[in-house]
Chains A and B, each alone.
Chain A
Amino acid sequence: MSDAWIVVLVVGVVTIAIKALGPMLLGGKPLPERVTGVVALLAPALLAALVAVNTFGGDQELVLDARVPGVLAAAVAIKLKAPVLIVVVVAAVVTAGIRAVTG
């Protein structure tokens, strides 16, 4: 088997298992109260981390590039209560525009 297929097979099986674990073992049952309070904070914690890493993350380094003004423009659009479609388009257009100008 080629290297590529070994990677596809192993990563596929492990990822499917990781994703399935919670819903298969705990599916449909309310979590213990103590855990509910913790899990409720997963969305804010993880979303904030995803914003941070996708805005400033490079290859094992923090970088300031055209994504930053794009995301700042998106923040302004969110503040002005723009729909999500507009927020996403604003970020892409600002970032693309700055890249076009700065080459």
Chain B
Amino acid sequence: MSDPAREERSHRDGVRAVAPLAIAVVGFGVSYGVLARAAGMGVLAPIVMSMTTFAGSAQFAAASILDVGGTVAAAITAAVLLNARYGPIGVSVAPWLTGSTLSRFLHAQLTVDESWAVAAEGDGRFNPQVLLGAGVTLYAAWVVGTVLGVAFGDVIGDPSTWGLDAAFPALFLALLVPQLRDRRAKEAAILGAGIALVLTPFTPAGVPIIAAAGACLLGLLDRPTARTDEGSAT
């Protein structure tokens, strides 16, 4: 049953939804390229990393560790911890990816925090078209930014001078608010934020976020039939 109040969203809506963020993503791509060169990663490796790993925080962490002379193992561990959240995120979008194996693989690779967040339609539903449109836009912005940073160096200065680091939490907040439809969602949000803040001083980056994902286990407190119309008495 389709909800008449909710218009079907398309690729274009995905592009439009992350467009305000694309400038910030280019800016951070540039600064990642600059940092990676300074860390001795050369020209090609940072660009290949943006094209394959496509995860800003993990790439920054890995480059920063190499920059200060950290070990390869430390750089890899930090980056993998930061990307661990894509395990549960992948499970959440999986039911809505109904295409071929290749299509599902590509959608999965374009699933990053921002594309995932704008594709969320509430109650656990995700729109694969919005995910794709947003993901391709962010991917292009990230790779172009990296190339610019590697090729031309520090042309824009520190992105935080322009307040670009505040753009990401603002977007996440704007996308969080419509998710808070019922009491359980609000509890999950408060618990998730609480877990993340409490763990931040004590754990490596990435752990607070993946631990916060555990707040969704609050869903086990609901009866499994609570979200369906026809309740079977099991």
Contacts and interface: CB of A to CB of B under 8 A. Distances in A.
Interface string B82-121: 0111111111111101110100110111010100010010
B220 to A, nearest CB: 6
B231 to A, nearest CB: 11
A12 B55 CA distance: 10
A94 B162 CA distance: 10
B179 A16 contact: no
A3 B157 CA distance: 27
Given A15-B79, A23-B104, A56-B200, A95 B165 contact: yes
How big is the B interface, by class?
35 or more
Contact of B189 (A3, A20, A45, A87): A45
B8 to A, nearest CB: 19
B4 interface: no
Interface residues of A, number: 77
B34 to A, nearest CB: 15
A84 B58 contact: no
Given A40-B219, A88-B21, A94 B62 contact: no
A53 B224 CA distance: 31
3 nearest A-B residue pairs (beta carbon):
A22-B90, A40-B124, A96-B163
24 contacts: A2-B45, A4-B36, A4-B39, A8-B52, A15-B79, A27-B95, A29-B94, A31-B94, A33-B228, A40-B185, A40-B216, A40-B219, A41-B185, A42-B88, A51-B173, A52-B197, A53-B209, A60-B200, A62-B200, A62-B201, A74-B169, A88-B20, A88-B167, A95-B160
Interface of B: 17, 19-21, 24, 36, 39-42, 45-46, 48-49, 52-55, 58-59, 62, 66, 72, 75-76, 79-80, 83-95, 97-99, 101, 104-105, 107-109, 111, 113, 117, 120, 122-124, 160-177, 179-180, 184-186, 188-193, 195-197, 200-205, 208-209, 212-220, 222, 224-228
Interface of A: 2-8, 10-12, 14-16, 18-31, 33-34, 36-58, 60-62, 66-67, 70-71, 74-75, 78, 84-85, 87-97, 99-100
